[in-house]
Structure 1
Amino acid sequence: MSKIENAKAQTASLKGWKHSKAGLWLSIGTSAFSAIGIAKDVRKARGESDTLKLVNALVGAAALVTGTALLVRELRRLGDDDVLLG
């Protein structure tokens, strides 16, 4: 197998991993760490009384909430497909 074929096979397997339960949980955990950064941005913007930075942080928070909700929905759908869960 050539290096290119091997790389394509690895890429294909990683794409499937992204939609696995473990991949979704990892994404949710990453989102939790992002929330810490957004909270710091909000606090800093309030301290500086910078409305534009505050709006930017709040839009980022809205995007984070939406993204996390999508991940949770995908996780529930995977659970519905699981025969062992009923």
Structure 2
Amino acid sequence: MSALNKAKGFKKSKSGTYLSIGTTAFGALSVMKQAKKARTENDTLRLVDAVVSAAAIATGIALLLRELKRLGDDDVLLG
């Protein structure tokens, strides 16, 4: 199996999904800093950007959690 195929398989594995959740959650720290800075500077446009980014992160994590649940359902042996 080539390295590229292994990487593609990892992305769809439980470990890859956990890693994606972690990196997405890590991005939330940057958004929180951005929102805090926007509030202290009374910059409405940056605050709106932070809110939209936070919504995108929340949606991304929700999608990853759904994928993780689907992967968990595939692992159950029926029979």
The equivalent position to 1:18 in structure 2, one of 11, 29, 40, is 11
| d(CA) in 2 for partners of 1:57, 1:11 | 34
Match of 1:79 in 2: 72
Tell me, in whole angstroms, the C-alpha distance in 2 between the residues paired with 1:44 and 1:83: 46
Count of residue pairs brought into register by the alignment: 77
Q: Which residue of 1 aligns with 2:50?
A: 57
Structure 1's consecutive aligned runs of 4 or more residues displaced over 6 angstroms after TM superposition are: none
Larger Rg: 1
TM-score (ref. length: structure 2) = 0.91
Supply the distance in 2 between the matched residues of 1:47 and 1:83 (Cα, whole angstroms).
50
State the 1:40 CA deviation: 0.4
Equivalent position to 2:59, from 51, 54, 66: 66
For structure 1, the residue ranges without an aligned partner over 5 or more in a row are: 1-5
Aligned-pair distance for 1:12?
1.5
Work out the percentage of aligned pairs sharing the same amino acid: 58
Structure possessing the higher relative contact order (Cα contacts under 8 Å, 6 or more residues apart): 2
Q: CA RMSD in A?
A: 1.3
Q: What per-residue deviation string (whole Å, max 9, x for no partner) do you get for residues 10-55 of structure 1? A: 1121011101000000011111211111110000000110011001
In the aligned structure 2, how far is the partner of 1:10 from the partner of 1:37?
31
